[in-house]
Structure formats: C-alpha cells, structure tokens
C-alpha cells in the first residue's frame, strides 16, 4: 500500500516487497535491509548514506536513496529500475542484467558474476572494484556491409573483442593468415600508427594475432562483410553484435593518456583514437581534458549518413554535423589531429556522462541538425554560424559549416575542420576552400572584417564511383546569431545567379560533376585521409558583407581624376573596384616609359586612394593607367615645379 513501515532494525528480512507509485519504504538508523526475492512497484526505498539494501531477485522500483545496494541472488537478476545508485555491489555468480543507463556515483563492486549492459547503454561509475566479477557490454551493428570505426571499452584481446564477426588476414582470425583462403585475403581490422614512417596507407597496421591486447583508447577500422550472395566466404548477414566481457581498463578511474604523436617529417598528426570508457565522454568538458597541440575537432565516421553510404561527421566544440555535439559514445572510435611537437591528449573520468549515439549503420541521420545541448548553447551564444546543406535527387546530402569568432585566422586555425575523404564511392563533396587548396568541413573566419568575404565552395557528387549529373538543392536552414546588418549572397559561378541567403530558403539547380572520384579505403595503397583541391575553380562562391561595407562598394570599376591637378610634389589618385580582382596602377611619362608602379595586387571590392610623389621627376604631362580583370582606364595629370 501507500503507507509502508519504517525499517529500523538491522538485517530486517522479507521475501517480497511491492511499493505502489507515490509510496515509499524508509530505511533508518544505519541498518541493513534484506529482500530475499524481488522488489517491484512504482514507489521508492529511501534512507541515508549509512543504510544498505540486499536484493535477491529482480529489481524494479522508481528510486533508491541508500548508501549501498547489493545484488546477491542465486539466479540471474533483472534490474529495470532504478538506474542510479550511490554504491552498488554485484555478488551473484549468475549475474545481473540491466536494461538502461547505469550510474554509480561512487563505487561499483563486482564481487562475483557478470553485469550485463545491452547495446546503446552507458555504465558510469566513479570507481570499479573487481573480485571475480566482470562487465559484459554489447554494441549492435545494423545496415549493410562497410567500414566501422570502433574502440573497446574493456581490457580484452582482439580475439575476444571481435568474436562473433568475420575477421581475416591475421593470425587467429576467422580466416587466418597462412590458411586457405586466409593467406590471400586482405585484413579487415586495422589500426593507424601516426609515427610509422611511410604513407598514410602504410600507417594502417594489422593485429599480429587474436591474442594481442587491444590498446586502451585506440580506435580501429573494422570492415563488416555481411552476407554476400556471390561469395560463399561471407554469409554473416547484418545486424551483428559485438559482445565483449571483461574488466574496465581503469577501474581506479585514473586519467587516460591516448598517447598521440606528431611526426613533422610525415606532415601528418592524424591519430585514430577511441572512447576508452564504458560510458559516453564529453569532448566539450574542457576542465577534464588535456589538449596540448591538438586541434579542436573530432571526426566520427557515421555509416548511416549520406543516404546510408556514410560520411565523416565533425564537431569543433562550437559547431559541426555530429548530432551529439561533443558526446562520444562507448565503442566509438574517432580521428583527432595533432598540430605540433609533443602533443598530449588525456581525459579524466569526470568527462564521463550518459547520452551519445554510437555511429552504427541504422536509419539515416541526414535530417538531424547539430544537437542543441545546454552546454552547446552556452558555448555558441553570440557566435554567428552558417550551415549549408546540399541534397541530390539520388538521396544523398552533405553539410558544410562556416562560423565567425574572435579566435579565427584567415588561414588554417584550430577551429577549422578538414574535409576527410569518405570511405564510400557514393557521396557528395561539399566544402569550402582556403587559398592554398585546403578543403574544409568547418571554416572559422574572423568575426571582425572590413571588406567582403569571398568563400569558394566546391561541389561534386558520385554514385557508385561514377560522376553524378542531376538536380540538386542547397538549403541554409542552419543560420544562428547572424547580425542583422550582414549581407550574405550565394553566387552560382556557372550561371551567374545570385541568391540572397537572408531572404530565400533554398536554391535548386542542375549539376554535372566533371572530376574523378577521390575516396579513402585503408586497404588501398593510394589511400589518403585527406587531400588538397586540384583546382581553385569552384561551382559556388559565398559572398559575406555588411551594409556598411556594401555602401562603400562601387557598382563598377572606376578611375577618378587625381587631386590636386596640376600638382607638386604629390597627388592623390582615387579608384574603385566592384569585385575581387587583380589591380595594376602604373604611372608613365609622355613617351610611354614606366615611371612607377603604385599598385600591383589583388584587391577586394571597395573604394581606394593612393598617393603618388614626384619629387625626382621633371615638370610635364604624365599618365596613370588602371588595369583590372575587366577594365583598362588611362588618365593624364600634370606636374608643375
């Protein structure tokens, strides 16, 4: 009923207890309460930090506020609720199964038996103490065959970790090295060693054998073959499940050092790491990370994105395409990039949380915008963010992000995110370019600017490795914190069409891809993680300005008369350009001989003045000539001494 007694005698023992919703049982006086079978109902068991409870059967109540709970049945126990405890002990050789996130605020003690956590859940504890007990955790892979990037949350071997899925190409694998047909098969389990001398492809390394230990915090590529009807070797249809049992790497909760490296001679810095915990970790929880000479972005391969063909999702701490923001789920591997000598990447146990989605191949995440968690909202407050998304009629989509901050540089900076080459042959390339050809998934630009930004945006698309032609649409629903006086224009360089992003919602057009496919495959010799653009010619340009800047932009190229004229010894020459252009302004004498070059550089749109001094010239008539990409204008002036 809803009027339950106060348990005040130590070792009070009952067989069953059912607590109605809204009711509670109070344990008081630093005592131990024993339920030999199950506890159920919508009510709660309350008490102090000095009180404890033993449960011998299934457990399903709304809440427990006691110092210690012990699961000590003689058959397997199902724990439906609660999911949060101060201290929890498992002392049941037949184990206990949990069905949702488990949070232990202090110590999880695994005296005996196996604590089971199903796919999609998190186990957060401050410390783990082990007797003979273990943790068993699952991750489920769905969808179709292809690469996954994963990591192990438990201290185990490659054999135990990947047991149940087809592996090949190394000793002890399902198709082992040296056996028929294993001696002819490429490995499908690969790690990446940044410090290894060689190309990107040569840095991919294979386990020596299934008995090799998985390294704490290491990411790995695993190719899931699924069921291939034409090949009798591969008849393991998806979905498939990783089912791993063991102990956490760090039961004492000590800080994890990912051991990242930076090899100057290799111009690399790419490190493939992974979540080392049984719980989600928060990349944005800055006090609990050490990031020295490490860029701000994480790169997570999501095989369900891009219409099911997969793409890399990014998050730089402010914006990106990863739907969980900085939340990295258990079993999730990811890329980070070191950018200087002696880099350090460490994470403390306090960065553990719940939430996060492991990027396995399920329903498409193309319609998911970057998650607006409270922490993310606080971080991005006031920072202008522009997210563009392109969609094809083949069902593909791709996003690119542009942000504006005081920590930005016009070249590469730590909040810029590279565009990594996708692992599939069907995808859209949609990215911005730096002047040196660097391809960016996130482009961080200075918030303060006094001339127009012209941001090149490249677009290509492929289906099954072939260039795609068809109708496409660009949308820009991801506009945040854009100042009211900004003027944003999308320019189609093929058609000359200009679209006011602040007034329109989308732009539909026909596109024909004319370039060859670049994709990444860790098993190919020519594979790379990223590349630079072959050409600076792009389909689109994003023009960003302000009303004040626009008021100072002429409608056409002009060259005004100098003043004063006649002059001695100096004069001012006004000119203006209406677009980014090469500008040459040269003074000639009456015989056409060059006297002085005043300007020879690319100029942004705007009005300019340049001073010409003629201290060492004789009196007479001279000419000044303005040459741009579109015009050639000459005027004369007179020097009188």
Q: What are phi and psi of 405, to 5 degrees?
A: -145, 165
Task: Label residue 3 by pLDDT band (50, 70, 90).
Answer: low
Give the torsion sign (CA, 484, 490, 491, 495): negative
> pLDDT digits over 309-352, tens only?
899 999 999 999 999 999 999 999 999 999 999 999 999 999 99
Residue partners of 241: CB distance under 8 A and separation at least 6: 119, 138, 139, 140, 141, 164
Q: How far apart are the C-alpha atoms of 470 and 457, rounded to whole Å? A: 18
User: Which residue, among 294, 336, 362, 353, has the nearest Cα to 529 in the 3D structure?
Assistant: 336
What's the confidence (pLDDT) of residue 268? Answer: 83
Based on its alpha-carbon atoms, the radius of gyration of the chain, rounded to whole angstroms, reads 32
Token pair, residue 30, equals 């630093």
Instruction: Read off the tokens for 70.
Output: 């012990």
The answer to pTM > 0.85 is: yes
Q: What pLDDT, on the 0 to 100 scale, is given for residue 180?
A: 60
Cβ contact 124:102 at 8 Å: yes
Domains of the chain as residue ranges with CATH: 6-132 (no CATH), 140-377 (no CATH), 382-551 (no CATH), 558-639 (2.60.40.1930)
Of 167-176, 296-305, 352-361, 500-509, the poorest mean pLDDT is in: 352-361
Give 520-576 pLDDT, tens digit per residue. 878 765 568 888 887 778 999 999 999 999 998 999 999 999 999 999 999 999 999
Minimal CA–CA distance to 315: which of 230, 375, 394?
A: 375
Residue 170 reports pLDDT greater than 90: yes
**Phi, psi of 540, deg, nearest 5:** -130, 155
**Higher confidence at residue 410 or residue 369?**
410
User: Residue 549: which residues within 8 A CB-CB, separation 6 or more?
Assistant: 449, 450, 451, 452, 487, 606
**Highest mean predicted confidence (pLDDT) among 14-23, 109-118, 227-236, 471-480:** 109-118
226 vs 73, residue with greater confidence:
73
Q: Quote the tokens at residue 334.
A: 């990811």
Q: What is the pLDDT of residue 637?
A: 98
pLDDT, tens digit, for every residue of 99-114?
999 999 999 999 999 9
Q: Which two tokens stand for residue 415?
A: 């909040």
Highest mean pLDDT, choosing among 232-236, 478-482, 610-614: 610-614
């Amino acid at each position: 009923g809803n009027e339950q007694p106060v348990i005040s005698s130590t070792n009070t023992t009952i067989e069953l207890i059912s607590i109605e919703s809204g009711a509670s049982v109070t344990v008081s006086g630093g005592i131990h309460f024993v339920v030999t079978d199950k506890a159920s109902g919508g009510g709660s068991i309350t008490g102090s930090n000095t009180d404890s409870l033993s449960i011998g059967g299934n457990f399903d109540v709304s809440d427990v506020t006691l110092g210690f709970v012990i699961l000590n049945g003689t058959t397997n126990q199902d724990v439906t609720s609660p999911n949060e405890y101060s201290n929890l002990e498992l002392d049941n050789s037949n184990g206990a199964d949990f069905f949702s996130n488990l949070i232990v605020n202090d110590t999880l003690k695994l005296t005996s038996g196996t604590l089971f956590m199903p796919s999609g859940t998190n186990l957060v504890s401050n410390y783990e103490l082990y007797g003979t007990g273990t943790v068993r955790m699952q991750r489920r892979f769905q969808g179709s065959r292809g690469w996954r990037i994963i990591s192990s949350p438990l201290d185990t071997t490659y054999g135990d970790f990947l047991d149940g899925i087809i592996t090949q190409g190394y000793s002890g694998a399902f198709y082992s090295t040296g056996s028929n047909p294993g001696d002819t098969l490429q490995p499908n389990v690969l790690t990446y060693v940044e410090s290894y001398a060689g190309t990107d492809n040569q840095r991919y390394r294979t386990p020596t054998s299934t008995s090799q230990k998985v390294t704490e915090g290491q990411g790995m590529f695993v190719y899931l073959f699924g069921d291939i009807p034409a090949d009798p070797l591969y008849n393991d249809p998806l979905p498939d499940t990783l089912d791993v049992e063991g102990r956490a790497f760090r039961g004492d909760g000590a800080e994890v050092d990912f051991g990242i490296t930076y090899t100057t001679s290799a111009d690399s810095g790419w490190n493939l790491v992974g979540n080392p915990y049984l719980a989600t970790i928060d990349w944005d929880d800055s006090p609990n990370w050490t990031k020295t000479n490490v860029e701000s972005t994480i790169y997570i391969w999501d095989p369900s994105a891009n219409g099911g063909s997969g793409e890399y999702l990014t998050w730089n701490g402010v914006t990106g395409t990863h739907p969980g923001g900085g939340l990295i789920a258990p079993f999730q591997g990811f890329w980070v990039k070191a950018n200087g000598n002696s880099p350090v990447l460490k994470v403390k146990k306090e960065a553990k949380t719940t939430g996060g989605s492991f990027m396995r191949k399920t329903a498409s995440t193309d319609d998911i915008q970057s998650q607006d968690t409270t922490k993310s909202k606080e971080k991005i407050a006031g920072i202008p963010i522009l997210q563009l998304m392109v969609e094809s009629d083949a069902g593909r989509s791709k996003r690119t992000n542009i942000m504006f901050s005081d920590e930005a540089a016009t070249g590469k900076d730590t909040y810029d995110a590279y565009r990594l080459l996708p692992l599939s042959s069907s995808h859209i390339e949609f990215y911005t370019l730096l002047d040196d050809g660097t391809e960016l998934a996130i482009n961080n630009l200075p918030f303060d600017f006094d001339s127009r930004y012209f941001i090149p945006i490249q677009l290509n698309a492929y289906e099954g490795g072939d260039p795609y032609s068809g109708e496409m649409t660009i949308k820009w629903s991801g506009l945040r914190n854009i100042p009211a006086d900004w003027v944003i224009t999308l320019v189609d360089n093929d058609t000359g069409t200009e679209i006011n992003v602040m007034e329109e919602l989308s732009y539909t057009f026909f596109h024909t891809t004319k370039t060859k496919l670049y994709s990444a495959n860790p098993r190919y010799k020519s594979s790379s993680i990223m590349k630079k653009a072959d050409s600076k010619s792009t389909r689109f340009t994003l023009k960003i300005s302000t009303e004040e800047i626009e008021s100072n932009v002429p409608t056409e190229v002009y060259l005004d008369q100098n003043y004063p004229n006649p002059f001695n010894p100096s004069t001012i020459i006004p000119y203006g350009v209406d677009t980014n252009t090469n500008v040459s302004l040269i003074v000639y004498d009456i015989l056409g001989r060059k006297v002085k070059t005043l300007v020879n550089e690319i100029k942004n749109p705007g009005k300019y003045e340049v001073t010409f001094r003629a201290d060492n010239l004789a009196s007479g008539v001279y000419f000044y000539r303005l040459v741009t990409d579109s015009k050639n204008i000459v005027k004369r002036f007179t020097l009188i001494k």
